[in-house]
Every structure is written in C-alpha cells, then in structure tokens.
Amino acid sequence: MNFASNDYLGLALDGTLAEAAARAARELGAGRGASRLVAGDSPLHRAVEEATADLLGAPASILFGSGYAVNTGLLPVMAGEGDVIVSDALNHASIVDGCRLSRARTLVVPHGDVDALDQRLATADTRRKIVVTETVFSMDGDVAPLVDISAVCARHGALLVPDEAHAFGVFGPRGAGVAAALGELPCDTVRVVTLGKAVGAHGAVVVGGAATVALLKNRARTFVYATAPPPAVCAAALAGLRLLATAASS
C-alpha cells in the first residue's frame, strides 16, 4: 500500500495505460526527436489536447512536457515587467519559479486570504493583473475558495490561473476539476491540469481560449524549445483521460 503518491485513481499501474504506452512505442518509436513546432508534432499529441479540452468543456488546449514546464512557461507569457502577479503563499514551487521568470511584480498573499487578495489587486495600478492559485493545495489538501477569488478577479479585471494539478481527475464533474464544478466563473481564466497525478501518465495541459492557446504555442519557451513528449506518454495519458470520461458516464 502506498499512501504517499499522487496516483489517486491507481491509473499509473493500470494495465490499459501500460498497454497503450507499449503499443504506441512499438508503432511510433520511443521519442519524437524534435519540438512540436519543428517536426515532433503528431496526431497523438493533438488527441491528448482535444480529450482534455473536451473533458473541461473548453475551446482550446496545449500539451506541455510537465506541470513544472507549464507554470514556468505560461506565467512569463501572461505577465511581464510592469505587470502584477498575485500568488498564494502556499503555491507550488513551479508557480513560484514561473512568477520569478516573468519579471512581473509578484505579491504573495497569505494562504486562502481573499480579503488580502482584494486589497492587493485594488492597490495594483498596472496594465495586467494575474491571480495564480492551486485549487487543491498539494501539501495541505485544502480547496481554494475559488468562487470568492473569481469574484474578486472579475471586479479588478484580473486573469485567474487555477492550477488543478491535485484536483484533475478527482474533483468536479467527470474529474474535470474544482473550477469545472463551479460552472461559468465570472472572470477570465486559463486553467492548468496535469496528467502525471490522477491521470496516471505524464505531462500537463493548459486549457483556455483559442487566442491564449495560440499565443502559448508560439511564445511559451518551455513548449517551443522542448522536445515533444514521447508517443508512449501521450498514449498513456489518452488512455487515462478516456477511462476518466467513461467511468464518469457509467
């Protein structure tokens, strides 16, 4: 028994995922040999993106090699010098590093403190305001007050970036996450989900509007300058996503 892993649904050891990975490796090879934008792209990568967007009911999505790569690639695209990012004190290291790499002014608010968030946003006199938070916190396991956070974001015209790493597959309808459980949020959002925890594979996906995703495909350095994820990883993730979708509907 292992109570310390993030393999919440036991999918990492599921035969369906392992078999899909083995088949993809046999048929398509072990690696892609180039980044997605050069020659590494494949229908399998796009299938993972589409399956994730379908599950989250979002228009567009982009697959990264890992959740760490998402946060260090996404935040520097969404914010830069002269912008403000408000970040929860208990946010994951990859979010902290993404904030640093963005060169935006990062204001850290006490964990789960919506009033502090409101005050920080009210005093931030900047072009762009980004609020980034985990939805289920990795270490404490508590859930962010996303309804209140999104209302504050809407009031201040801030973009909300919920990181659903520990929620995806477990919380919300069909495992689509905490944000999905709340329906339409009042503010703009760009959602982050990972495929290496409850989905049992590896990688991570950013889900959002078509324009944001197109921007990330061309500007996120951890996407543009990284070798495309291997076929076996994509096939395992796709099998995990399909199990989620079918388990939830049966």
Ligand X SMILES: *Cc1c(COP(=O)(O)O)cnc(C)c1O
Active site residues: 6, 92, 134, 138, 163, 166, 197
Q: Which residue is nearest to ligand X (CB)?
A: 67
Task: Please classify residue 209 by burial: count the beta carbons closer than 10 Å to its beta carbon, then call 0-12 exposed, 13-18 middle and 19+ buried.
Answer: middle
Q: Find the helix or strand (DSSP H, E) in which 198 lies.
A: none
Stretch that binds ligand X, among 41-49, 162-170, 221-229, 231-239 (CB under 6 A): 162-170
The helix (run of H) or strand (run of E) holding residue 67 is helix 67-78
Nearer to ligand X, 123 or 229 (CB): 229
Binding mask 86-115 toward ligand X (x if CB under 6 A, else -) reads: ------x-x---------------------
> Which residue in the block uniquely carries the two structure tokens 């076929």?
231
| 165 near ligand X, rule: CB under 6 A | yes
Based on CB atoms, which residue is closest to ligand X, 165 or 232?
165
Tell me the CA distances in angstroms from 125 to 87, 119, 120, one per residue in order: 17, 12, 10
Q: Which of 36, 45, 166, 174 binds ligand X (CB under 6 A)?
A: 166
Q: Does 66 bind ligand X (CB under 6 A)?
A: yes
Contact 231, 225 (CB under 8 A): no
User: Near ligand X by CB under 6 A, which window of 66-74, 121-129, 207-215, 232-240?
Assistant: 66-74
Task: Measure the CA–CA gap between 132 and 86, rounded to whole angstroms.
Answer: 6
Return the closest-CA partner of residue 84 out of 106, 64, 116. 106
Rounded CA separation 236/47 (Å): 12
Q: Which two tokens stand for residue 111?
A: 């964990």
Binders of ligand X: how many residues, by CB under 6 A? 14
The least distance separating ligand X from the CB of residue 196, rounded to whole angstroms, comes to 4
With CB under 6 A as the contact rule, which of the stretches 14-22, 160-168, 178-186, 213-221 interacts with ligand X? 160-168
Q: Which residues bind ligand X (CB under 6 A)?
A: 66-68, 71, 92, 94, 134, 138, 163, 165-166, 194, 196, 204
